[in-house]
Every structure is written in structure tokens, then in C-alpha cells.
């Protein structure tokens, strides 16, 4: 018994907090390994489209995030975290449960479906265009504090569960960033929390303004902001 406790403590100390951030994983790991069925993904997505819209673009005002184009691994982690109560989302919680989505296979299917949707070419942006001092300030903050995880162009990393943040709505990101900084988003990566804890509100607005204006690669975008999802015709 003593030995067990010792190895457990040693393991915890060794892995550090970053491991806890990715713990919890039975269902997550299961979903990641499954071969997705896009047709079932569309069926499951129908209920989600009520809020995230048929195109998966969410809303500019930030109420609903864009899901289109987001890494599958990131969405699976977020949904599994929401289901397990590690990330608060009272509006969506009932829809995230197995009785709404289904088990791991359906989770895998729905995120594979949204990942391949083309992204919104007209996402919600902050108020400071290129050329303003706030834009430059945000760019500098981004380069110094975020590139390491979210990538030079905000592309994130599918493999490491780092979200793609280019093309996401300003108001949504601002809310999430503030929650991560202030500890309200409990599933957040502890290294990100550490990195941004000294950010003032102005720093936060400037860096998110910059992120909201990073161009999304053309091949990932819908042909126009009027595009509608033909699967819903
Ligand atoms: C009743 C509205 C509603 C429905 C239905 C809904 N969602 Fe959501 N969803 C939200 C809201 C609101 C948020 C943002 C919560 C926040 O601010 O933290 C969200 C966030 C998410 C996120 C996190 C995105 C990120 O960038 O971290 C994922 C993933 C997601 N939803 C997937 C789904 C899927 C899949 C379905 C269908 C099974 C679904 N949602 C149905 C309202 C909804
Ligand atoms: C150590 C890696 C790391 C660093 C540094 C980091 N992030 Fe993050 N960020 C993450 C991870 C991981 C998540 C997803 C958190 C989770 O698992 O819920 C995230 C989430 C976010 C989100 C919410 C995305 C969504 O779809 O919900 C935003 C916005 C964000 N980060 C912006 C930033 C900005 C801006 C910076 C720099 C000031 C930054 N991050 C620095 C790893 C990092």
C-alpha cells in the first residue's frame, strides 16, 4: 500500500500539472482512435446546428463559437471535458451528454463532420485594424506569449490538443481568454494560465484583436460569407 502511494505521488510529481490537464481520457482516447462515419456525423450535427448554425460558423457576437475547421482532437477534448464537468457550459451541457450525442463513436463522427466544414470568411473581429498602435501591441504580445502553442499563424496543433484560433470570433475568444486567465475555465492548459496571468484587460483585448485578424488560409475558407451548407438544403 505504502509503495503504491509512493509511486502515485512520484508519478504525479514527475508528470506535473500538464498531465492532469490531459487526464480524464478514457472516452477521449477511445473517440480519437475510432474511424469516423461522416454520415452519422451529419445526423448528430443536426441538433448542434440549432446553436452553432448549419455552417458551423457560430455567431459574430461570440455567443456560439465557430466549430468549422477546428481540429478534431481539440473538439473531442472539449466535449469530453464538458461531459465530465471540467468545463462549464450550462447552455450546451444537455446537448453534450451521451443521450444527445451518443457514445464515443458518435462523438468521433460529429467532430469529423465539423472539422471538414469550410470556415467563415467573415469572423467577428476586434476594433483595431492593422496600422493602429493597439494592433501592433497585440502582435508583439502574440509573438512573445502565444506562438509556442497556437503557432505563428494561429493554426494550433492537432497532435497536442492546442486549438486553432485564427478565424474564431473576437467576442468568444475574449470571454474564453478571460476565463482561462481568471481560472474559470477549469480544463485550461496550466502553462497557458501561467503565461497569461499578468495580462491586463487592455493586453488581453489587444492580443485577441490581433488573433481575430490573422488571415485564415484561403483553402480552409468558404468561397463567400453567403455560403450555405448544402447538407442542410
Ligand atoms: C443550446 C445551444 C447549443 C447547442 C445545441 C450546442 N452547443 Fe456547443 N456550445 C454552445 C455554447 C454557448 C458554447 C460556448 C460556451 C462557452 O462560452 O464556454 C459552445 C461550445 C462548444 C464547443 C467548444 C468549442 C471550443 O472552441 O472550445 C464545442 C466543441 C461544441 N460546442 C460542440 C457542440 C456539438 C458537437 C453540439 C451538438 C451535439 C453542440 N455543441 C450543441 C451552445 C450550444
Ligand atoms: C502552453 C501552451 C499555450 C500557450 C502559451 C497559450 N495557449 Fe491558448 N490554449 C492552449 C490550450 C491547450 C487551450 C485549450 C484549453 C483547454 O484544453 O481547454 C487554449 C485555449 C485558448 C483559447 C480558447 C480557444 C477556444 O476555442 O475555446 C484562446 C482564445 C487562446 N488559447 C488564446 C491564447 C493567446 C492569445 C495566448 C497568448 C497570449 C495563448 N492562448 C497562450 C494552450 C496555450
Residues 133-184 have pLDDT tens digits of 999 999 999 999 999 999 999 999 999 999 999 999 999 999 999 999 998 8
Which residues are CB-contacts of 118 (< 8 A; sequence separation ≥ 6)?
A: 55, 68, 69, 220, 221, 222, 223, 227
Neighbours of 60 (CB within 10 A): 17
Q: Can you tell me the distance from the alpha carbon of 7 to that of 14, in angstroms, rounded to the nearest whole number?
A: 10
Buried (b) or exposed (e) across 189-215, using 16+ Cβ within 10 A?
beebbebbeebeeebbbbbbbbbbbbe
Q: Can you tell me the distance from the alpha carbon of 205 to that of 173, in angstroms, rounded to the nearest whole number?
A: 10
Mean pLDDT of 205-229: 98
Q: Can you tell me the distance from the alpha carbon of 134 to that of 132, in angstroms, rounded to the nearest whole number?
A: 5
Q: Which of 69, 43, 63, 61 is nearest to 51 (CA)?
A: 63
Residues 32-83 have pLDDT tens digits of 999 999 999 999 999 999 999 999 999 999 999 999 999 999 999 999 999 8
175 Cβ below 6 A of ligand 1: yes
Look at the alpha carbons of 40, 57, 157, 18 in this order and tell me if their dihedral is positive or negative: negative
Higher pLDDT, 10 or 73: 73
pLDDT for residue 220 is more than 90: yes
- Site to probe by mutation for ligand 2, drawn from 75, 192, 198 as the one with most ligand atoms within 8 Å of Cβ, is 192
Residue with the smallest CA separation from ligand 1 atom 19 is 64
Residue 76 in contact with residue 32, Cβ under 8 Å?
yes
64 Cβ below 6 A of ligand 1: yes
Q: Which three cell numbers stand for residue 196?
A: 497569461
Q: Can you tell me the distance from the alpha carbon of 38 to that of 131, in angstroms, rounded to the nearest whole number?
A: 43
Q: Can you tell me the distance from the alpha carbon of 155 to that of 164, in angstroms, rounded to the nearest whole number?
A: 5
Average pLDDT taken over every residue of the chain: 90
Distance 65 CA to ligand 1 centre (A): 7
Residue with the smallest CA separation from ligand 1 atom 2 is 51
The distance from CA 53 to its chain's CA centroid, rounded to whole angstroms, is: 17
Q: 498531465: which residue's cell?
A: 19
Amino acid at each position: 500500500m505504502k509503495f503504491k502511494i509512493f509511486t502515485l505521488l512520484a508519478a504525479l510529481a514527475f508528470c506535473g500539472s500538464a498531465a492532469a490537464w490531459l487526464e480524464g481520457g478514457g472516452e477521449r482516447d477511445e473517440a480519437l482512435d475510432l474511424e469516423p462515419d461522416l454520415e452519422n456525423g451529419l445526423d448528430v450535427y443536426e441538433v448542434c446546428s440549432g446553436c452553432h448554425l448549419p455552417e458551423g460558423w457560430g455567431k459574430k457576437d461570440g455567443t456560439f463559437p465557430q466549430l468549422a475547421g477546428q481540429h478534431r482532437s481539440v473538439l473531442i477534448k472539449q466535449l469530453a471535458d464538458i461531459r465530465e464537468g471540467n468545463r462549464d457550459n450550462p447552455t450546451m451541457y444537455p446537448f453534450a451528454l451521451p443521450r444527445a450525442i451518443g457514445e464515443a463513436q458518435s462523438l468521433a463522427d460529429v467532430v469529423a463532420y465539423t472539422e471538414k466544414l469550410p470556415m467563415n470568411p467573415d469572423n467577428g473581429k476586434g476594433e483595431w485594424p492593422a496600422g493602429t498602435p493597439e494592433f501592433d501591441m497585440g502582435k508583439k504580445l502574440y509573438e512573445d506569449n502565444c506562438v509556442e502553442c497556437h503557432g505563428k499563424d494561429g493554426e494550433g496543433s492537432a497532435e497536442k490538443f492546442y486549438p486553432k484560433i485564427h478565424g474564431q470570433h473576437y467576442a468568444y475568444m475574449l470571454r474564453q481568454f478571460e476565463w482561462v486567465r481568471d481560472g474559470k475555465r477549469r480544463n485550461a492548459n496550466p502553462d497557458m494560465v501561467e503565461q497569461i496571468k499578468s495580462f491586463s484587460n487592455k493586453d488581453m483585448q489587444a492580443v485577441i484583436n490581433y488573433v481575430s485578424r490573422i488571415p485564415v488560409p484561403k483553402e480552409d475558407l468558404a468561397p463567400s460569407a453567403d455560403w450555405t451548407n448544402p447538407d442542410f438544403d
